[in-house]
Amino acid sequence: MLVQVFNIVAPLFIIIAVGYFYGARVRPEMRITNQLVMDVFMPVLIFHVMVQEGFSPLEYSSLVIAGCLLMLGSGLIAFLLAKVLGYGPRALIPSAMFSNWANLGLPLYILALGQEALDGGIMLVVAGNILCFTIGIKIYSGHASSWQVLKTPIIIAVIAGGLFKALNVTLPVAVDTPLQMMGQVAIPLMLFSLGVRLTRLGLQDIKVGVMMAVFCPVIGVSLAFVLMFFIPLSPLHKSILILFGALPPAVINYMLAEQYDCEPDRVASMVIIANLAAIVSLPLALLLVL
């Protein structure tokens, strides 16, 4: 069992480590690469999954509902914790809600549960992005319009994929093959980019970072088990939800906190420490799943 867990998490952290050490040595400009991931490769991956024969979004409705409730529940508990400890809730809540669904989540689901887990993981990525670019930006900025979510390429890909599916359009091989190849670029490039990005973050508030490193997997996995009692899920979707709850905060939290001047140094500490702690928390979550 331990060998199986190691074989699952080792590829993830090896790619992240390669990105980290390369980033620390070369200091590459990753803005364009990150933009390509978010604007091209990730939307193509989502679109390609959605238009495949046999994919039905309605099959994942319970999983998506459970995932949204898990994120909202984590945010509510983080709000209460922030009030008790005297931290700024605007920095703490999104970091608790919005985790590494894509960078870590997608490859983790595939390695742990098989290729068939990708579809459910994709639907959680879509749900997470909708919440992040509506509620998340609202929290960070205090005034941004929720309509901004409709401008994101990932949501455009979801809408296009839904239309193609509804019209029962089958892609010719000459189009399907390059889309598949472009989508396959997304996952390893996201892991590499995460490693590079971690070299740019600072540790200004270690205490709150350690707290978030414990909070995210403990609260997330606990909420996953609670939700499974009330929402009917298949065994595969239960496993995906548990791993989803164990994920650390996403780097997008730091980027949004910096953009809206919402304690970016504190958010950076939460992101980097929680992601480093995932070396321990994700194997423990895998033991529960496997």
What percentage of the chain exceeds 70 in pLDDT?
Answer: 95
Tell me: pLDDT of 148 over 70: no
pTM for this structure? 0.85
CA 273 to chain centre: 16
Rounded CA-CA distance 220/285 in Å is 10
Give per-residue pLDDT as tens, 200-225. Answer: 766 667 788 899 999 999 999 999 99
Residue 195, pLDDT > 60, answer yes
Structure tokens at 204: 């200004």
Q: What is the pLDDT of residues 61-86, one digit of tens each?
A: 999 999 999 999 999 999 999 988 88
Phi, psi of 205 (to 5 degrees): -145, 85
Any idea where the domains of the chain sit in the sequence? 2-289
H-only helix segments in the chain? 2-26, 31-36, 42-50, 61-85, 89-97, 106-113, 118-131, 137-141, 153-166, 173-198, 206-230, 235-246, 252-259, 264-289
Per-residue pLDDT reduced to its tens digit, 222-277: 999 999 999 999 999 999 999 999 999 987 888 778 777 888 878 888 888 888 89
Place of tokens 């070369």: 26
pLDDT in tens, 154-181: 888 888 988 888 888 888 889 999 999 9
CATH top-level class of 2-289: mainly alpha
Contact by Cβ (8 Å): 93, 82: yes
